A = this chain, B = another copy of it.
Amino acid sequence: MVFKRINAICSLILYQRRDYYNKFRHHALFIGAAVPFFTQSDSNDTSNFMASPITPMEQLQSNPTDMKTRMELMIMKVQAEFCKALEKEENSSHKFLVDKWQRKEGGGGITCILQDGKVLEKAGVNISVVSGHLPPAAVSQMRSRGKQLSEGQLPFFAAGISAVIHPRNPHVPTIHFNYRYFEVQDGTNVQWWFGGGTDLTPYYLNNDDAIHFHKTLKEACDRHSNTYYPKFKKWCDNYFDIPHRGERRGVGGIFFDDLDEPNQHKVFGFVTSCANAVIPSYMPLVAKHKDEKYSEKERQWQLLRRGRYVEFNLVYDRGTKFGLQTPGARYESIMMSLPLEARWEYMHEPDQDSREYKLLEVLRTPKDWV
């Protein structure tokens, strides 16, 4: 019932404090600022990160096996790899801007944005690593969905990565993904869980693309449990619903929350597989379609569909809604998901034999791709 709440709670507490901004217009400033300290077996070469980690190096170094450390390093690695893969396809002077921001109460985030590029019209890849005390309202909400927690303020930790890529070419789909780890301390007991998902929003339906995307996600899931993909695929279709339009936002993917079984190590392994599946699921589609010719009509259709994307994010997405309702939330990191441009036409309805209509059919009745 409650989705994306970790993201929401992150938004809740990622207060925007312009005073704390370290705004770097050239990410080169940051590359090299992080030094490697883990062994190669950790697969975490921090020197390639988009910025130095949020948590002080000494703290990470002294707790290498702590899940907080492992998650922070994993998401920073995924952020860096994804940004670099995107920059490679962009192949222009447009590079990711890196905004590292801090939160007064604890932690902060790194927002990477590439805007108005040749291939990438708007690409945002955000990580946040925050801690502090959950407000009583957040604790109540967690209790209401079954978490065994005492009432009142409780110490928490949350680390997550969230990205939305809106390419310029209407033949390249939009991708969104979000993976997050949450800990709440209740007395001496620490509760933890993972959540996340990856989903695709094409403007023109390409069966091969949808199959490749779902197949890559399924393979990542199947490595951990054969039950994951069917369950999380359905969850995704149900979550990314725009009820007033009678449409899904896109062709789905996977979506899950509250994952805390069979154990922390195994769930982290699964989430890592999912996060690592983003590049192979998506980047081939960018490479394949980014140079395809498109007409003004196709561009207009893309903008209309982006209007639907905005409708979903602002009206239905629980993380966005909850975040925005919180005074002082870092709204720029929340609104990062919105496209550079969007369009709304009254009563737009594509012809029944058009390629635009073919997409609508799949959005109205989700199908199985693998």
Q: Which residues of A contact B (CB under 8 A)?
A: 23, 97, 99, 111, 113, 115, 122, 124, 243-245, 303, 307, 310-311, 314-315, 321, 324, 327, 329, 331-332, 334-336, 338-347
Contacts of A347 in B (CB 8 A): 23, 99, 113, 332
The 3 A-B pairs with the shortest beta carbon distances in the complex, nearest first, are: A314-B314, A338-B344, A244-B331
Contact of A346 among B321, B324, B329, B332 (CB under 8 A): B332
Contact of A314 among B311, B327, B332 (CB under 8 A): B311
| Distance of A124 Cα from B344 Cα, bound (Å) | 12
| CB-based contact A340/B344 at 8 Å | yes
Beyond A310-B310, A315-B324, 20 additional contacts (C-beta under 8 Å) are A23-B347, A97-B346, A122-B346, A243-B324, A243-B327, A244-B324, A245-B331, A303-B341, A307-B338, A310-B342, A311-B335, A314-B314, A332-B346, A332-B347, A335-B344, A335-B346, A336-B346, A340-B345, A341-B341, A342-B344
| CB-based contact A341/B338 at 8 Å | no
Contacts of A335 in B (CB 8 A): 311, 344, 346
Closest approach, in angstroms, between the C-beta of A325 and any C-beta of chain B?
Answer: 8
Contact of A344 among B244, B321, B339 (CB under 8 A): B339
| Distance of A96 Cα from B310 Cα, bound (Å) | 27
Contacts of A243 in B (CB 8 A): 324, 327
| Distance of A23 Cα from B303 Cα, bound (Å) | 25
| Distance of A97 Cα from B124 Cα, bound (Å) | 39
Contacts of A339 in B (CB 8 A): 344
Contacts of A336 in B (CB 8 A): 346
| Distance of A26 Cα from B339 Cα, bound (Å) | 34
Chain B residue, CB-CB nearest to A314: B314
| CB-based contact A342/B342 at 8 Å | yes
